A and B are shown apart, each in its own frame.
Chain A
Amino acid sequence: MVTQTKFDWRRGLVTVFMFALSILFLLPFVWMLVTSFKLETEVFTYPIQWIPKHWRIVENYKEVWFGDYPFYRYYWNSIKVGLATTLISCFVSSLAAYGFSKVQFKAGKYLFMIVLATYMVPGQATLVPQFILYRNIGLFDSHIGLILIGSFSVLGTFMLRQFFMGVHQEFIESAKIDGAGHFRIFWRIGFPLVKPAVATYAILRFIWTWNDYQNPLIFLRSDKLFTLTLAMQKFTSMSGEFYSLIMAAAVSAILPLFIVFVIGQKSVIEGIALGGVKG
């Protein structure tokens, strides 16, 4: 540990080293971005042209967004599925978290154990029956089905339960003495107190849903319902060797999350750290 009053050369040296290493993590993204601006014939020139000779930004992105595989549609699908999943998941999770931590009923303990047990079930072990179930109740190949699959993650319940346990029981008790029911207490006292935690969970849930590949792959079939990840994959196999276009699609798929992350960086990192440390 160094007390930093003036520039410390050792610290500077480590910074330079870490900077060099960080290039390893960023370079693929830079390559992706640069390639998306290029003329197809210049993609694989070596040494790599980090500044394109011919700029094709407008043409490439126009093709991706409004061509045969119109990305604006998949954007809309992803936004719809992402927001709906996040909303439902936050709602259901915070209700359950409150119920498991602040309402004192005997069965609660056992019910919580059941929920806890499901956390151990790897999602993929249930895919086949879920698929069969969806085929039979008409949720297959629909956004609603996809949204429901993502909405009942017990992780949110755990995370928010931790926070509700931090809310003093006296708040709840005194509100009750004043004649408020649990729903009113939840809405007026409990929820506002854990709002920051809900926001963190919401960002995480949105990122996970946005990046999900497996569930859309299994539960969607029609092109027009595809989410961005799935469309990206189909686009790649359709456009074959057109790497400039594929990279334009990749940039389009990553950019919104990058923005969400940069804006909500603190909550994302804190949320992950918290989930991580607390287990």
Chain B
Amino acid sequence: MMVQQAAASGKSKPSVPAPPAASKRKKSLQRGETIAGFLFVSPMLLGVSILVLLPILATFVLSFADWNFVAGWDGIAWIGFDNFKGLLDDPLFLKSVRNNLIFLLSVPIYLIISMVLAILIDRYVYLKGYFKVAYFMPYISNIVAVAVVWQVLFQPSYGPINEMLKAIGFSNPPKWIADPNYALYSIMMISVWISIGFNMVVYIAGLQSIPRDLYEAADIDGAGALTKFRRITFPMLSPTTFFLMITGIISTFKIFDVIAVMTQGGPIGSTSMMVWYLYDQAFTNLKIGYASSVSAVLFLFVLLITIGQWGLQKKWVNY
């Protein structure tokens, strides 16, 4: 009780003045709480400050610099907004942004597939456990191993996929990741394949939280499966869909592994995306300042999505 009072007094002054002895005790108790609080959160706070807050500030500062890492601290030249102006004239950067935007398409695609699979698995199949594990396999698998397998499967001249396509009559199958026109879409396909497991599992959890009596009531009213989906399942899943869409969109901006392993941004920049471009500028070309300005743009994109999410949430999530 005492402590609760003490805590409450921290937020708003109690109307009844406490007797002096108690108030003294309260104060020392509260100081104890404050010290304990700081001790508990300080390791995390320290880590986050050094490894996230400080670096993100540094990113913004460095985005105004022209600096080759090898030149040492003396080699820094401050050039204002030139990096950002440079980005706007940089065809490969613009292409990377465009690729990022195209990649957004993969999000609704895998959301739809995941939702359908989740409904089927949750309600209409035997052997639920097997299906959860089977569709989830790509998600837990090491991305490099998965990428290598797909690279081989997609191999244009003797890979199994093209052999199969040739066998069923396509005399000239696409060259997949070796063809600038198909490479990005091939990567998107793989990304859809990897993402389905995770999204499906979240959808299944969302489905299980829909109250059964809604469906029972619909049954009494003689609603068909489609009506039940349109009127109950889909709207009740909207918070889940919203959450998955936002995290999905943000994660497309962070795509790196699959590009680094499979295409290195090629062929001829057709699969370059922002994070790959950032990595390439920073760690291959050693243009620290320029790479930082890419980081800053990336950060702004994610920030805008996050802010937009708060605004949209109320409109979209309907119940």
Instruction: Please indicate the chain B residues that have their CB under 8 angstroms from the CB of A247 in the complex.
Output: 148-149
Stretch among A52-60, A62-70, A105-113, A194-202 lining the B interface: A105-113
Consensus secondary structure, chain B interface: helix
DSSP majority for the A interface? helix
Q: A121, A257, A276: which contacts B299 (Cβ < 8 A)?
A: A121
| A104 & B3 in contact (Cβ 8 Å cutoff) | yes
**Residues of A with C-beta under 8 A to B53:** 114, 118
- The answer to whether residues A132 and B133 also contact, given A126-B56, A277-B206 and a CB cut-off of 8 A, is no
Residues in chain A near residue B129, CB distance under 8 A: 265
CB distance from A48 to the nearest CB of B (A): 6
The residues in A between 122 and 151 inclusive whose CB is less than 8 angstroms from any CB of B are 122-133, 148-149, 151
Task: Give the shortest distance, in Å, between B89 (CB) and chain A (any CB).
Answer: 22
- Knowing A125-B56, A276-B243, say if A18 contacts B121 (CB, 8 Å): yes
Which chain A residue has the least Cβ–Cβ distance from B37? A105
Q: How far is the CB of B228 from chain A (nearest CB, A)?
A: 9
Residues from 233 to 257 in A contacting B, C-beta threshold 8 Å: 233, 236, 243, 246-247, 249-251, 253-254, 257
Kindly list chain A residues whose C-beta atoms are within 8 Å of the C-beta of B105.
Answer: none
Q: Number of residues in A with C-beta < 8 Å to the partner? A: 101
Residue B62 at the A interface, CB < 8 A?
yes
A83 at interface (Cβ–Cβ under 8 A)? Answer: no
Which chain A residues border B127 with CB–CB below 8 Å?
15
- With a cutoff of 8 Å between Cβ atoms, the chain A residues found around residue B38 in the complex are 99, 105, 107
Q: Which of B4, B152, B257, B279 contacts A243 (CB 8 A)?
A: B152
**Bitwise interface map of B from 17 to 55 toward A, beta carbon under 8 Å scored 1, else 0:** 000000000000010011011111101110110111111
A-B contacts, 28 of them at CB < 8 A, read: A11-B124, A25-B193, A25-B197, A26-B134, A31-B153, A44-B159, A48-B160, A95-B44, A106-B10, A118-B56, A127-B279, A127-B282, A128-B288, A133-B55, A154-B48, A207-B140, A211-B143, A213-B144, A232-B148, A233-B144, A247-B148, A250-B148, A257-B140, A265-B129, A272-B202, A276-B201, A276-B202, A276-B243
Query: What residues make up the interface of B, taking CB atoms closer than 8 Å to A?
Result: 1, 3-4, 6-7, 10-11, 30, 33-34, 36-41, 43-45, 47-48, 50-56, 58-59, 62, 69, 117, 120-121, 123-127, 129-138, 140-146, 148-150, 152-153, 158-160, 163-164, 167, 193, 196-198, 201-202, 204-206, 209, 215, 239-240, 243-244, 250, 253-254, 256-257, 260-261, 275, 278-279, 282-283, 288, 291-292, 295-296, 298-299, 302-303, 306
